[in-house]
Amino acid sequence: MNEGNTIFSQLMGYLPMNAFRRCVTKYRGNHKVKSFSCLDQFYCMAFAQLTFRESLRDIEACLRSRENKLYHMGFRSKVARNTLSHANEKRDWRIYAEFAQVLIHTARNLYGDEQFGVDLKETVYALDSTTIDLCLSLFPWAHFRKTKAAIKLHTLLDLRGNIPVFIEITEGKVHDVNILDVLIPEPGSFYIMDRAYIDFNRLYSLHLYGAFFIVRAKKNLKFKRLYSRPVNKSDNLKCDQTIVLANFYASKNYPDKLRRVKFYDSKNDKNLVFLTNVFTLPALTIAELFKCRWKIELFFRWIKQHLRIKAFYGTSVNAVKTQIWIAITTYVLIAIVRKRLNITIPLYTFLQILSVNMFEKVDILQLVTNTENNKNNNLFSNQLNLFD
């Protein structure tokens, strides 16, 4: 019999607890708290994310069914849904937002050498948002439409390792382009964006900060071509031009030159036009970089499918933001553990294996290795494969 730590304890062992305590102290998370600490709250919510719990009652029932193991998993208080609900409503969500940034910094260092599809030394970010629909009667503060509530998750994704570097949670009615006012540009880095972020005044601010951007142009763009560069038609490139904006207000907001690259997407049978302030890279690399923006769409799809961020355990602003930030922390933690243990299976598969073994006392690496071995052994069975 394995007398070691449970899978849940091993995962939590990768958390920098000193940093967590500093975040709690900074925002007075445990002020006047007698029993159910911020750490207990975090453990409950992380457990819910890792095991796909549906509600507070679900969390309470699952944890109480294994009450004899909770102390050794790190819990120091009895789990009750009313206590957890009160903690989510009242404890400052910034505790978990700031703690998530600590883990994000660790993850970026671990994934700093990862390849993302384009041979480029500079940091490349994809900026986009996803909308999470809510019930207007339960979330009246999440203004979106007259008969609908929603929040937006504005995310800046580091394409090396798919680590979310910056996240802003706003009401659904906040336009994507406004996030450029909050974002602090990183000189020398690349920002890849879709047409929603076309605002030449804000793009010029990025340019003045020394950052590079690649954004998809709108169809009604008015410009004056200064000169063209030769392109290889076999690469589906249509043109590579240096332009200035012809519209009066746009030219005032962005008085400098821009590069316009037109690319034919044969897969979807459509022409794509990109605007950028990058003049040193080949035109095909510009198109390839924009293609990598699809990774942020995959990230949104992944977290919506495999983390609890579409249905919430509380209805207040604080409860919603607490749940989202702990979900992001859980995602980054799994990515850190996967990298440190040199696990090669996909993140989704790794999470699925962990989710059904939270109370097992077996080493994480051994658990994953046994799963892979069983999978390989099944390949040599006598059972015919219907889809071979």
Contact between 212 and 191 (Cβ < 8 Å):
yes
Is the pLDDT at 169 greater than 90? The verdict is: yes
Q: What does the pLDDT read at residue 375? A: 53
Is residue 64 assigned to a domain? Answer: yes
State the burial class of residue 286 (Cβ atoms within 10 Å of its Cβ: 0-12, 13-18, 19+): buried
46 is in which domain, residue-wise?
Answer: 7-95+320-369
Average pLDDT over residues 290-296: 94
Is the pLDDT at 374 greater than 70? The verdict is: no
223 and 286 housed in the same domain: yes
Indicate the residue among 245, 272, 292 that finishes a domain: 292
Is the pLDDT at 119 greater than 80? The verdict is: yes
Is residue 315 assigned to a domain? Answer: no
- Mean of per-residue pLDDT scores for the chain: 91
Contact between 139 and 149 (Cβ < 8 Å):
yes
Residue 370 pLDDT level (bands cut at 50, 70, 90): confident
Helix (H, G, I), strand (E, B) or coil at 307: coil
What the block records as the tokens of 130 is 């996803």
327 and 279 housed in the same domain: no
90 and 12 housed in the same domain: yes
Is the pLDDT at 369 greater than 90? The verdict is: no
Is the pLDDT at 82 greater than 90? The verdict is: yes
277 and 329 housed in the same domain: no
Residue 386 pLDDT level (bands cut at 50, 70, 90): very low
| Total tally of structural domains belonging to the chain | 2
Is residue 325 assigned to a domain? Answer: yes
Is residue 326 assigned to a domain? Answer: yes
Q: What does the pLDDT read at residue 25? A: 96
Instruction: Calculate what percentage of the chain has a pLDDT beyond 90.
Output: 81
Is the pLDDT at 387 greater than 70? The verdict is: no
73 and 13 housed in the same domain: yes
Taking CA 80 as the corner, what is the angle to CA 78 and CA 85, rounded to the nearest 5 degrees? 130
Is the pLDDT at 295 greater than 70? The verdict is: yes
- H-helix or E-strand spanning residue 6: none
271 and 337 housed in the same domain: no
267 and 328 housed in the same domain: no
Q: Are strands 212-216 and 270-276 parallel, antiparallel or unpaired?
A: antiparallel
Average pLDDT over residues 64-93: 92
284 and 329 housed in the same domain: no
Instruction: Calculate what percentage of the chain has a pLDDT beyond 70.
Output: 95
What the block records as the tokens of 220 is 């009604």
What the block records as the tokens of 62 is 């699952």
Contact between 164 and 217 (Cβ < 8 Å):
no
Is residue 104 assigned to a domain? Answer: no
Q: What does the pLDDT read at residue 3? A: 57
Which DSSP category does 188 fall into?
A: T
- H-helix or E-strand spanning residue 134: strand 124-134
Is the pLDDT at 381 greater than 60? The verdict is: no
Contacts of 132 (CB under 8 A, 6+ apart): 150, 151, 152, 153, 304, 309, 310
Is residue 186 assigned to a domain? Answer: no
Is residue 143 assigned to a domain? Answer: no
85 and 12 housed in the same domain: yes
CA 175, 179, 181, 182 torsion: positive or negative?
positive
Contact between 81 and 60 (Cβ < 8 Å):
yes
205 and 247 housed in the same domain: yes
Is residue 51 assigned to a domain? Answer: yes
Per residue in 209-265, pLDDT (tens digit) is: 999 999 999 999 999 999 999 999 999 999 999 999 999 999 999 999 999 999 999
